[in-house]
Amino acid sequence: AQKITQTQPGMFVQEKEAVTLDCTYDTSDQSYGLFWYKQPSSGEMIFLIYQGSYDEQNATEGRYSLNFQKARKSANLVISASQLGDSAMYFCAMREGSGTGFQKLVFGTGTRLLVSP
């Protein structure tokens, strides 16, 4: 079963507008973490934002915010005031479990965002 689902293969937004990238997840764990990464054409995975399953507040990092709806199992990324440099692939990922044992990151298939002038 798909653990992370990103249903938008591509999204277009005009510069300075806000955009929401969708992510739904599937887990039976009570403790998990959700991540968003940006991957420009250079290939590096750049960490954007993290939300823990027990965090009551939605995570924010500058222009990035995570709209966490636990009951719906969704963790959408909102980018405000889009910039041309935001054009890239965006991946949602989940880490299951907690404690000192190993938990891998499971990634979705990504959404390609194109910001136009």
Find all residues with CB under 8 Å of 98, minimum gap 6, and list them: 31
Per-residue x/- track, 25-64, other proteins (CB under 8 A) = --------x-x-x----xxxxxx--x-x------------
Structure tokens that stand for 26 in this block: 């599937």
Residue 113 as a binder of other proteins (CB under 8 A): the answer is no
Cα within 13 Å of Cα(20), Cβ side: 9
Query: Rounded to the nearest 5°, which phi and psi values hold at 22?
Result: -85, 145
106 makes contact with other proteins (CB under 8 A)? yes
Per CB under 8 A, residues contacting other proteins are 4, 33, 35, 37, 42-47, 50, 52, 91, 93, 95, 98, 102-110
